[in-house]
Amino acid sequence: MSAPHSGGFNTTELIEHSMGDPNREPQVSDEEILSVFARSGDRNLLVTDVADELPIHHTVLNDRLDDLYERGLLTSEERSRGTVWTLASEVEDDLLISESEVETDVEAQATAATGSETTPRQEENPTESLQAPAEEPRGPEITDEPTIEEIETFDPPGSSTDRERNREALRAAYLYLQKRSSAKRDDFETDVFPEYPATYEDPDDWWQEVISPGLEAVSDVETQDDEWRFVGDRPEQ
């Protein structure tokens, strides 16, 4: 990461910057990302905590958080559970955006995207129109990340941000195996890699550098002849 910008926070400039950059996701502004921190009772958030509140994929959100850090709007710290992001102190006092203003902004984007008028239901919950299509992914959805010491301490390749993304892919592979009881390498590459590629484009590199060594480090996972088995206690449903 480059040194963060030390200048003051300006809401108007931030909005213009977000709307003027064609590479940014049009449905999620910088203000909305920062507002998640302002509204949260715990200001120290993982990327997955922020992604749970917004219609944006966590892999894209990582780059957005890096950008906000470089502009001095967020701070970050490496902890045992991964990279923790915090709203910069000089930003918090300036970020006094009411819920009605945020809803109006999101509602206007939804109307522009669909070309139709907002229904009463959308007015009550304007983020519904921004939800992704209801398509069942083949890989596991991480809702409650398992607190597995071997995964949290596993040190995959890459920068601090890349390592957290790679650990997230390992957690997804672990949950997938836990649910199925057993799986082969092809199963992981077919069902988990498309949803959790982390920093890799090639599933072979993804498997060799992150998933295989990471699973080998977990005590309740065993492997023999390309078959991986979960041998630990299953969580209560």
- In tens, the pLDDT along 143-189 reads 444 457 888 888 888 888 888 899 899 999 999 999 999 999 999 99
Q: Which two tokens stand for residue 109?
A: 């984007």
Chain position carrying tokens 């071997």? 150
Give the whole-angstrom CA distance, residue 205 versus residue 202. 6
Burial (0-12, 13-18, 19+ Cβ within 10 Å), 202: exposed
Give the whole-angstrom CA distance, residue 44 versus residue 87. 8
Would you tell me which CATH number, out of the four given (3.40.50.460, 1.10.10.10, 3.40.50.720, 2.40.30.10), belongs to the domain 11-97?
Answer: 1.10.10.10
Would you tell me which CATH number, out of the four given (3.30.70, 3.10.20, 1.10.10, 3.30.460), belongs to the domain 149-230?
Answer: 1.10.10
Q: What is the pLDDT of residue 169?
A: 92
Fold agreement between 11-97 and 149-230: yes
- Residue 176 and residue 193 in contact, taking contact as beta carbons nearer than 8 Å: no
pLDDT band at 51 (very low <50, low <70, confident <90, very high): confident
Nearest in space to 82 (alpha carbons), one of 7, 207, 187, 171: 171
Specify the 3-state DSSP secondary structure of 85. Answer: strand
Boundaries of every domain in the chain: 11-97, 149-230
Q: Which two tokens stand for residue 189?
A: 């590459």
Give the whole-angstrom CA distance, residue 100 versus residue 120. 15
pTM for the structure as a whole? 0.41
- Residue 65 and residue 44 in contact, taking contact as beta carbons nearer than 8 Å: no
pLDDT band at 58 (very low <50, low <70, confident <90, very high): confident
Q: How far apart are the first and last CA of the chain?
A: 41
Nearest in space to 67 (alpha carbons), one of 30, 40, 92: 30
Torsion (CA) 75, 152, 179, 49 in degrees, nearest 10: -10
Give the whole-angstrom CA distance, residue 19 versus residue 27. 10
* pLDDT tens digits along 101-142: 544 555 555 555 555 444 444 445 544 444 444 444 445 444
- Identify each DSSP E strand in the chain by its residue range: 74-79, 82-87, 182-184, 221-224, 227-230
Give the whole-angstrom CA distance, residue 68 versus residue 72. 6
